[in-house]
Structure 1
Amino acid sequence: MSGNDAFKRFFRKFGQADSQQMSDYFHKWMFGNVRFDNYTLDCDSTIITRYGEQEGVRKGYNPRKPDRLSHYPVMAFVADLKLVANFWLRSGNSSASDNFVSFLADTFDKLHGNTISLLRLDSGFHTVDISV
């Protein structure tokens, strides 16, 4: 078995575009092969406090650690299958609804045309762009 450093060197070759393309391929393959439809899709966001100088960290709303650098990821889960449908790591100065319409479109694309019966969001996603 190769050591940890060999894996790090291998995956360092992948840029953002390569990683996104690979993620899209595997998500579409996975949801294209699952024989289930009428998904319940849950979307949520959270705050991850960072210590150090990771890429994309910014000061933003952080109720537990004010004035600390953080990331503000947004995630989508298929509740019925207990699978992560999509995940975007955003900078800490984002809000729950920032660029959410694009995130949702990307999530629907990864679900490979399967039907979403129920979309559950919390109040942080409520904006004019998202309201129906």
Structure 2
Amino acid sequence: MKVQQTTTHCQAPLLPRREKRKIELEKYRLQKKIRKFNLPVTFDNNTTTKFANFGPVESFKQAIGFKELIKSTFTMRKAPNSKYQSQEMLDFLVDAQILGLSRFEHINDLRYDPGYLKIKGDIECPEESAFRRLFKALGIESLEELRSINQQFIALHSQTKEPTEIWLDCDDTVITLHGNQEGGEVGYNPRYHGRPSIKAKACFIAETAELVNLKAYGGKTHSNGEFLNFFKEAEGQLPHNYVPKGVRMD
């Protein structure tokens, strides 16, 4: 279903020529900074890697100050004698997701890949058990900080654009819980009838697939349950120069 906004005050104003020029110069500086991180690739027993295309990703992360933003926002601390602090592990975890390693046991692939380790500066990657312990220790405050990090990256991206109209995609899904997990309720579950589950609602910017809002509800929550509050939260988190033109809902 598509919902078109018809209010006239939602028209995005045009940027002055000086502001456009400023954005173009910033894009050029970023492109120039990224070029020097290209990784030469050869295929032999010592340098074969599954992640040779990760070089531009890491260079982009450095160019936008990815680690610095995490360190300034994510305050979770481990013991002083820990080999890896939480901020470093979050950086590795983001790398794993970008490279398609969505399961804990697959993260160990990064520990033994020479190409990835060279790009990261010949450092050692944590074992997958360390990431399990990190998630186990996460509290509500840490989750809100992760949400803040996501919002800051969206705002950073928006600074490279003129005021623009966007579409928002909203969807939800049923996540089945196995075992005794917090927040589960027995509600509509098309695949596992009678199993406890949670209902996850998500909102994305259609043009860029950037996640704007994500919340979990009990399994008894319907698709339209608490949706208005969820959407208002998503709309309130958009950068000031992003103007919602319409909403797609599944």
- Between Structure 1 and Structure 2, the one with more strand by share is 1
- The equivalent of 2:200 in structure 1 is 73
Kindly report the root-mean-square deviation, in angstroms, between the aligned alpha carbons of the 2 structures: 2.0
> Which segment drifts farther, 104-113 or 89-98?
104-113
More helix by share: 2
Which consecutive residues of structure 1, in runs of 5 or more, have no partner in the other structure? Answer: 123-132
2:216 is the counterpart of 1:94: no
For 1:120, the equivalent position in structure 2 comes to 248
The corresponding residue for 1:31 is 154
Which TM-score applies when normalising by structure 2?
A: 0.44
Residue-by-residue CA offset, 1:57-98 (whole Å, 9 max, x unaligned): 110012333211111111111110122222112211111122
Larger Rg: 2
Which residue type is aligned with residue 186 of structure 2? K
User: In 1, are the aligned partners of 2:151 and 2:212 still within 8 Å (CA)?
Assistant: no
Q: Distance in 1 between matches of 2:191 and 2:239?
A: 38
Instruction: Name the residue aligned to 1:85.
Output: 212
- Runs of 5+ unmatched residues, structure 2: 1-124
Letter in 1 for 2:152: W
**Residue-pair matches, total:** 121
Query: Do 1:27 and 1:111's aligned partners in 2 also have CA atoms closer than 8 Å?
Result: no
Matched with 2:142 is 18
Name the CA shift for 1:39/1:121 in 2 (closer, same or farther; >3 Å). Answer: same
Sequence identity percentage: 26
Q: Which amino acid aligns with 1:120?
A: R
